[in-house]
Structure 1
Amino acid sequence: MIVGLTGGIGSGKTTVANIFAKFDNVAIYNADAEAKKLMNTSPILKSKIIDEFGAASYVDNQLNRPYIANLVFKDKSKLEALNAIVHPEVKNHFQEFVNQQHHKDYIVYENAILFESKSNLKCDIIITVYAPLDVRVKRTMLRDNSSKIAVENRIKNQWLEDKKLLQSNYIIDNLDTEKTQIQVIKIHNILTEKSH
């Protein structure tokens, strides 16, 4: 069983994924982290990114993240071009991961753009992590050392919260760590039962 885990930037998806990771019968796949690794390790991705965005895309054989972020979060067509290069590779990588995890009860597929990338279509269950917009902006500014404008530009490229929430099986309110843990345990127990 594949469980999609999503939520807007700063909602606390990774915090929730880390709680799920404590259960032995669960495997976690973080699409964002894996995409970052693949952009630095896959020769196919490297050459496609350089073709699309120029030689400045890589510095010392590592993705020039500030340069790329500056391009894609200001221009939707550039973001779409980057996603078109990276997503197919991540999808293949995820499929390999799924094949290796058949002994687990379920797989949590953490993806910030689960709906936007149509990855929700591969999931049996969808969980959205929710936090109010002002909280998300503050958390992201602190985490990434970003300006408010930079964070708001990134939010503009994600689906509206209501749209995600309406298409989710479960919603986790992530404002208080203890309450978040209780919600995760409850959902985990239901999912474990469903998988048997």
Structure 2
Amino acid sequence: MLVGITGGIGSGKTTVSKMFSEFENVQIYHADEEAKRLMNTSEIIKRKIIKEFSQEAYSEEGLNRSFLAKIVFESKERLKVLNSIVHPEVHKHLQGFIAKHNKKDYILYENAILFENGSHKLCDKIITVSVPQDIRIKRVMKRDGVDKETVLNRVKNQWSDTKKTIQSHYLIINLDLTNVWFDVKRIHNKLTY
């Protein structure tokens, strides 16, 4: 079973995913981490990104994330182009991951843009992690060392929590970690019943 977990930037979906990793019969797939890794290791992705965004998209250290971020978070069209390059390769990688871990009760598929890129169609169940937007903005500003405008540019490229929640099977409000852990255990028990 593939269980999607998503939430807007700064919602704490990675923190919640780590809680699910406490259960031995669960395997976690972090789409964002794998996408970043593949953007540095896949020659297919690298060639396409350079063709589309210029050689400046990569430096000797690898992917020039700040260069790309400036372009794609200011233009929905350019973001779509980048996603069309990266997501097919992440999807292939996910399929291999699922095959490798098919003995687990379920795979938790953490993806910030699960709905936006259509990956929700792969999932048997979906969990949305939600927090009020002002808290999310503060978290991301602190975590990434960026200003409010930069965070808002990223937020506007994601679906609203309301839109995600309507299409989800479970909702976790990530304000109090004790309550979140209780929700995680409850959802895990339902998924493995």
TM-score range, shorter-chain basis? over 0.9
Runs of 4+ in 1 over 6 A off after TM superposition: none
What TM-score do you get using the length of structure 1 for normalisation? 0.97
**C-alpha displacement at 1:109, in angstroms?**
0.2
Deviations 1:35-80 (A, max 9, x none): 0000000011101000000010001150000000000000111000
Stretches of structure 2 that go unaligned for 5 or more consecutive residues are none
- After superposition, where does 1:1-196 map in structure 2 within 5 Å? 1-193=1-193
Residue identity matched to 1:33 = E
Question: Are the aligned partners of 1:4 and 1:120 in contact in 2 as well (CA < 8 Å)?
Answer: yes
SS of residue in 1 equivalent to 2:103: coil
Deviations 1:145-185 (A, max 9, x none): 11100000000000111110100100001001111111101
Quote the Cα distance in structure 1 between the aligned partners of 2:168 and 2:151: 24
Question: Are the aligned partners of 1:40 and 1:61 in contact in 2 as well (CA < 8 Å)?
Answer: no
Q: In structure 2, do the counterparts of structure 1 residues 61 and 42 end up closer, same or farther at CA, with 3 Å as the change threshold?
A: farther
Quote the Cα distance in structure 2 between the aligned partners of 1:102 and 1:82: 30
Quote the Cα distance in structure 2 between the aligned partners of 1:107 and 1:49: 29
SS of residue in 2 equivalent to 1:186: helix
Give the % identical residues.
Answer: 55
Stretches of structure 1 that go unaligned for 5 or more consecutive residues are none
